Chain A
Amino acid sequence: MKKVIIALIACIVVAGIAITCVMGLNYELMYSKNTQFDIYIGKEFQDQEIQDIVHEVIGQDKKVITQKVEIYEDMVTITVPEITTEQIEQINQKINEKYGLDNTIEDIQVVNNTKIRGREMVKPYVLPVAISFIIILIVLTIIYRKLGIMKVLGNVIGYTFLVQALYLSVIALTRVEVNRFTMPIAIALFAMTQLAVVIKLEKKRLTIKEDNNSNN
């Protein structure tokens, strides 16, 4: 059973790495290449109303993000994967009709954003994770030295990288969007992995202690 689980995990990790190399990860709209444009509404509005109008023009299958702008929330910024000038004009017209406005296409500021690379998302976390990981390795090696230094290092490093590789592979295989929750979940998994490894090492230590006591 254990061998089956190990084989399954290995397959998932290898497949995940392969998919990542070939197709890359599926990034959420905010992190991928997109077009943003702002329209002044001048009054209160619901995000859903604007999203419905945009979907009418560009299609239901395209992802749309709307955000209120400024403290008075009287402007909307619309983010879409891509859009033509004609479509922006249509959206503007529909919003004018709905809210009784006179906005022209010249009033609309359109910005084409480049994608945010995965490494930019990971960059802020590298140093704190690396520092804490090194300290954990040193501390656990000292506390559990009687179990064997290489064994302790192997467990900590092995499980940490395995869990993160599995997480990345699941994201790649299931094509779940990489978004602002991806890194927090990775950090939570990192923390819980350390916890689990220490519990395992502690159990091993107690077992050896009991064996030594019974032998004596």
Chain B
Amino acid sequence: MKRNKILRIIFLICIIILISLVAFAGIFVAYQNTTKNLVKEYSLGRDLVGSRRIQLDVSTQTNEVKYDKDGNVIASTDSETEVANTVSEPVNKEEDKTLENYQKTAKILEERLKELSVEDYTLRLNTENGMVMIELPENADKTDSVVSALSQTGKFEIVDSTTKEVLLDNTDIEKVEADIGQTSYGYVAYIAIQFNKEGTEKFRNITNTYKTIENTTSNTTTEETTEEAEEQKEISLQLDGETIMTDSFEEEISTGYLQLTVGSSTSTSNSEELNTYYKSAQTEAALLNSDALPLTYTVAQNKYVKSDITLETLQIALYIALGVLAIGIVYLIIRYHMKGLLVAISLIGYIALLLLTIRYTNVTISIIGLVGIVVSVMINYIFILQLLKKTEEIENVKLAYTEVMKSFLKVMLPIIIIAIVFAFSTHLAIFSFGMVMFWGIVLDWIYNLVVTRTFLLDAKKE
């Protein structure tokens, strides 16, 4: 019996040493003339690693506008009308460069970021010149499409392709969603536009006016005259002045619903190509769900900037944390002797397991996430301290453990609530804290039940 207990303690200590080595040091193997760590790396947030800095300046570009002899604007696609006059006009009029428009721009950009599920960002507006500086997390898949959505004006128009009369614009849109659908020939990424009440009526009229005409021709063997084919009227969908598509409608659409294909793929729904189209669709949807920017902006700066929190700063913080932990461990050993030593070893194993769990559950660690790790370790320390105190009062370790766990659960209730609520947040830093606390609490229960209680049981019997 006694031998079994000692073996069990030694076995658990070996497991803890192994987990600690993996968590703190890693598993290195030879890989292409160098070494590679098999243990998954930490996913770090922008405050620890760096962020994409985007500077949007109010555009000072000019457009060449051509006028005919009557003073009417000649469309860029019209090569027949004689040009009487060409004037360089700025894309942004001076009277539009107002504080109100700058503030509106900042608000619209924030709406677009929210549409794209980017909540962790910093936005600064220079109220003097309308310059907007945005810092975003760097994400290989997402950041570029976010930058694209932010820099476009987002002016959506349905125009008569001949007269260029604006028939519908952003103000007629209720909601736009991006989605992937299956067709007979594969998968398509599309945006679904739902117009509002006014827009639905306008769109119905458009679908009636711009109907697809089937050409009629006469039978040349008869004496009936040839009917001239009606000229096909078409509409153009334009985004920021550029034509996305030109089309007519086969039937009336009274639902106010318009589906536009962004791209299609014949491969499975998970293909890279389809995902790229889907991201474009999401960007378009985010653009159209927010208003058009009141001014045209250009991207003056688009750089990845490393965090000013250096490795040295993090190392100092780590040494301080290790120092405090060492003091706590020394107290446990001095106060509780062998039990204190075993519980201290258990605490180190808990920290190692928590760090591994964070790595493998893809929790992105930000500064507040690091605070979450510290708080989790502190809570575990308080728990084992309470447990040690209780085992001095009650001989039965299992009973002591049950009592401490019961009261601890009650005491931990607010922390559990905070962890769960924060874990549902879309803001990366808050999510980071929530998930770290969540895993800290789960491991607290499971790990202490399996390891710490076993140590105390066997140590007591010794």
Contact = CB atoms under 8 A, between A and B. Distances in A.
Interface stretch (B13-21, B118-126, B209-217, B268-276): B118-126
A113 B126 CA distance: 7
A181 B367 contact: yes
Contacts of A75: 303
B303 A38 contact: yes
Interface in A1-48: 30, 38, 47
Contacts of A208: none
Task: Give the residue among B47, B120, B415, B437 with the most A Cβ atoms within 10 A.
Answer: B415
Contacts of B422: 128, 132
B371 A187 contact: yes
A172 B209 CA distance: 67
Contacts of A113: 124, 126, 133
Contacts of A65: 308
Interface of A is mostly: helix
Nearest to A181: B367
B2 interface: no
Interface stretch (B60-68, B154-162, B323-331, B406-414): B406-414
Interface in A86-125: 109, 111-114, 116, 120, 124-125
B417 A67 contact: no
A180 B47 contact: yes
A147 interface: no
B133 A124 contact: no
B425 A128 contact: yes
Contacts of A114: 124-127
Interface residues of A, number: 47
Interface stretch (B282-290, B389-397, B426-434): B426-434
A167 B351 CA distance: 28
A199 to B, nearest CB: 6
Task: Give the residue among A114, A195, A198, A202 with the most B Cβ atoms within 10 A.
Answer: A195
B308 A30 contact: yes
A71 interface: yes
Contact of A195 (B50, B370, B412): B412
Contacts of B415: 191, 194-195
A138 B127 CA distance: 44
Interface in A124-166: 124-125, 127-128, 131-132, 135-136, 139-140, 143
Contacts of B167: none
Interface of B: 47, 50, 53, 55, 119-120, 122, 124-127, 131, 133, 300-301, 303-308, 310, 367-368, 370-371, 374-375, 379, 407, 410-415, 417-418, 421-422, 424-425, 427, 429-430, 433-434, 437
10 contacts: A69-B305, A77-B303, A125-B430, A139-B413, A180-B367, A184-B367, A184-B371, A191-B418, A192-B375, A202-B411
| Those 4 A-B pairs whose CB atoms lie nearest each other, nearest first | A194-B414, A184-B368, A132-B421, A184-B371
Given A132-B422, A140-B414, 8 more contacts: A66-B308, A67-B50, A109-B300, A132-B414, A184-B367, A184-B368, A188-B374, A202-B410
